[in-house]
Structure formats: structure tokens, C-alpha cells
Amino acid sequence: MAGHSAAKNKKWRKDRQSELRSQEHQTARREIELLIRQKREIPKEAFVIAREHSFPKEKVYQIWEKLKNSVAENHFTQALFQAPFGILIYLEGGKNIPADLVKKLQLKSLPLVSLSNYFQPLYSLKINLKGNDNNLEEYLLTYLPNEIWEKTNYDEKKRELISPDKEEMTRIKKIIEEKKLELVIEEEEKHFWKSLIPCRLIAKEEIDYYHELEKQLASSNFYTNIEKMGL
């Protein structure tokens, strides 16, 4: 019995170390990706972060290649702005906001290095039970491994699994396929940015301004910190 207990404790420590290493690598990946997006190259700081988190050097280059290809395909741009009434705007992809529109909307440019203070990158996977059964959450909790829930949340209203790690979405799809679970992927993973400092507009002047902002930026891919209730 003592030997069995020791083996069990050893396995637990090994699993725990693996889990902590995985979390550390996720943190490093996010920080490195943000740095590369900002600098448009691989800065020395990226390798410092990699070394501090025991993150493989070759994966830094993989992140760079992935982002470089994204830039080539989508003419990728980024911009972060502070607007009146506490509104924050993150612009991603496509063209920058013209200078005359920046002036008209009274936008103040913020350094991209502060992006992680205002917005968090997330990935979602829209999912359902075959037959559109209402017991989706119960089914997910029963058949998806416990470690999935350490990095993933479930949005009952939207029927979406949400995680800051895209690899978790890939892992979930693989589990569904390998275990032949009674699940249907209704929409492939989407990338979006969640506001960390929500803002609610109340006064008519604030709401009118926001509607004008949406109208002017309709052709751009942007995210704000506005709570849409009542708008």
C-alpha cells in the first residue's frame, strides 16, 4: 500500500509540474506574441521572456513566421485609442484610422505596449449536442477532461467554449473526434478581444457619440470596452 501511495504521489507531482509548465508557456506565448506584433520583428526581449519561462527558442521563431504570414495576407495593422467618455478602441487588421477622422472623433493614441492592460485576447468555439439537446453543459462537464476546464469557460447563453489559448480549442476538437462524442461544432474557433475595463454609457450625448463612432468605423475591424446593454 505504501508503495502504491508513493507512486500515486509521484504521478500527482509530475502532472502538477506539467500543468504549471503549460500555464507558464501560455503566459510566455502571449507576451512574446504581443511584443512581436508591436515591434514587427523579433525583439531581444522576446528571447529574454522565453528564457525566463523555459519557452523553446524555436517556438519564438514559429510565432514570428505565423504573424509575418498574417501581415502579408491581411496587411495587418494595430492601433489603440482613448476616446471621450472613457471609451477605449482597439483596431486590428485593415487600414489605420485617417488622421482627419482621429481629430474629428477626438481620439488619443495609446501605446500598444499597454494593450494587455485594456483587452484580453480570447478564442471561442460554438458547440452543440447532436439533436440540439438542452443538457449541453452537463454533457461537456461529463465527457471533457478536467484539465480542459482549468483553461476554458463555458458560455451557456451563446453555447460557446472560451479560452485565452487557441491550442485549447484545437485540443477540444481533437477530443471530440477521437472519443466520437455526440457533439456538433456549429462554428469554428473565433478570435476576439475582451475588454478588461468595461464602460457603460448612460447620457444621451455619450450614446450619440458612440453611435457616430460605430458609423465612422464601420469598415474597420475594431473592439471597444462598451457594454452594449441599452444601446
- pLDDT tens-digit profile of 71-97? 554 445 789 999 999 999 999 876 778
Mean pLDDT lowest among 21-25, 205-209, 224-228: 21-25
**229: confidence class by pLDDT, cuts 50, 70, 90:** low
Cell for 184? 456538433
Measuring CA to CA, how many Å separate 44 from each of 51, 61, 113? 11, 12, 15
Q: What gap in Å lies between CA 27 and CA 141, rounded to an integer?
A: 25
Task: Return the H-helix or E-strand segment holding 97.
Answer: none
What are the φ and ψ backbone dihedral angles of 105, each rounded to 5 degrees?
-85, 0
The set of residues, in sequence order, having a beta carbon less than 8 Å from that of 86 and lying 6+ positions away, is 199, 225
Q: Over the stretch 94-124, which tens digit does the pLDDT of each residue have?
A: 677 889 999 999 999 999 889 989 999 999 9
* Backbone phi, psi, residue 140, to 5°: -60, -45
Q: What is the pLDDT of residues 149-206, one digit of tens each?
A: 988 999 988 999 999 988 889 899 999 999 999 998 888 888 889 999 999 999 999 9
Indicate if the pLDDT at residue 231 is higher than 90. Answer: no
Q: Over the stretch 20-59, which tens digit does the pLDDT of each residue have?
A: 677 788 888 888 888 887 777 788 888 988 998 889 988 8
Give the max Cα distance, the chain: 76
- Assessment of whether the complete model's pTM goes beyond 0.75: no
The confidence score (pLDDT) of residue 76 equals: 58
Give the pLDDT band (50/70/90) at residue 11.
low
